[in-house]
Structure 1
Amino acid sequence: MLKKILGGLAAAILVLVGVIATRPVEYSVQRSATLPVPVDAAFAVVNDLRRWEEWSPWEKLDPQQKTTYSGAESGTGAVVAWSGNDQVGEGQMTIQESKANELVRIKLDFIKPFSSTSTTTFAFKPAEGGTEVVWTMAGTNDFMGKAFSLFMDMDKMVGGDFERGLASMKTAAEAEAKKRAEAEAARVAAEKAAAEKAAAEAAAAAMAAQPAEGGAAVAAPTP
């Protein structure tokens, strides 16, 4: 009897292993949104990892998490590492490629609650009404990843976070666009004021250089 039970258990395990082996090796999650801002404003809040706290859907999951930044200030070579509760885990992001107003490609390494590596990309392009942002995460499943996918679909697990993140990114990008517009307006006003001052000074100098009305006085002859 025991042999039959063990044999049945072994057969079930073999079947399960076979099913797991047939699961897809690669996975991809993608969401997109059109933000009502110029492309440079949307790009700015992603290309600077320090600004992710303005819109990332995971930032508020653990207010006590430890975050450290290293490498470049922004763009290629910028790195952020974090360690927090079970909801945020532990990991690191490194910007591997940055094309101004076009693309940010990031290597995402998770350490906890499980080890994994994936590639996250943000693609930007002008669109009717503003800027289209396409957020994609892609990677490969090892055996444990395949087993996990039997019970939890990656798209369902992460897709909602992407949607919330893009909604928050809209607010952050709108604030960035407003700040840039105000800075540009101030710059134009300053240039206009400087030009008007220079024109007034030039006019005053020209007036000062003209002879007095009626010409110069003629000295009377000496008797």
Structure 2
Amino acid sequence: MALSPVKRRVLNIVLFLLIGLIVLAFALAIAVSLQPNEFQVTRSMKMDAPPEVVFPHVNQFAAWKAWSPYEKLDPNMTTTLEGPTAGQGAVMRWAGNGNAGAGSTTIVQSEPNESIQIDLQMTAPMDCHNDVVFTFRPEGKSTVVTWSMSGKVDLMAKFFHLIIDIDKMCGDQFTEGLASLKEISEKQASATTS
């Protein structure tokens, strides 16, 4: 039984669309698989304050409210602090809206006025585990603060990275946070030298 010309044309269009979808899915799968298995975002800023002034603002999670860009994502976000008030072993847990998400940060190493290593565990909006490092490099009477985050990239995150430029998104937030940290630290340094 032969198909009518109209049915044949419809069948050809459906077949063409189906092949197109398969090719598109295959191309997307290749693009996702070619994404790196790890990522790193790093931003630095020079602050006219010595390391001993800047360092405590990062080493104490209670001080993050004043400068962290993530504190601004949800004004109703709840945070709890555990362990020591500063340095190694200090923990901050948070839960907020879809922008802020939920998770915890733990200071795993703290070298006074030099570096702070933080374990970041996100539980929402997605599960991820990243390493965060702050370094404080003296430069004359100033400090160059570098904020870095790195981690592994699973299949879902690779797809996410195709759509969202993670370096720009997180990097812009890091720059905003560093600018606030700079303002606070420079005001404090200026007040102590006046």
Give the shorter-chain TM-score range. 0.7 to 0.9
Q: Indicate yes or no: 2:37 matched with 1:21.
A: no
Structure 1 alignment gaps of length 5 or more: 186-223
Task: Give per-residue Cα distances to partners, 1:53-105, cap 9 Å, x unaligned.
Answer: 11101212212111001012110100001011111111110101100110000
Would you say the 8 A contact 1:96–1:106 is kept in 2?
A: yes
| Distance apart, 1:129 and its partner CA | 4.4
Q: Write the distance in 1 (CA, Å) between the matches of 2:174 and 2:18.
A: 45
Q: Secondary structure at the match of 1:105?
A: strand
Question: Distance in 2 between the 1:98 and 1:176 partners?
Answer: 22
Separation in 2, partners of 1:135, 1:34 = 12
Find the partner of 2:110 among 98, 113, 126: 98
CA contact (8 A) 1:26 1:138 kept: yes
Aligned length: 182
- Residues 1:112 and 2:112 aligned together: no
Cα distance, 1:147 vs. partner? 0.6
In structure 2, stretches of 5+ residues that fail to align are 1-10
TM-score, normalised relative to structure 2: 0.86
Distance in structure 2 (CA, Å) of the matches to 1:3 and 1:160? 45
Residue correspondence of structure 1 range 35-74 to structure 2 within 5 A: 35-74=47-86
Matches within 5 A, 1:107-186: 107-177=119-189, 181=192
TM-score with structure 1 setting the length: 0.76
Structure with greater Cα Rg: 1
The answer for the alignment partner of 2:100 in structure 1 is 88
Q: Secondary structure at the match of 1:80?
A: strand
- The runs of 4+ residues in structure 1 deviating greater than 6 Å are none
**Matched residues in 2 for 1:178 and 1:83: separation?**
35
Identity %: 37
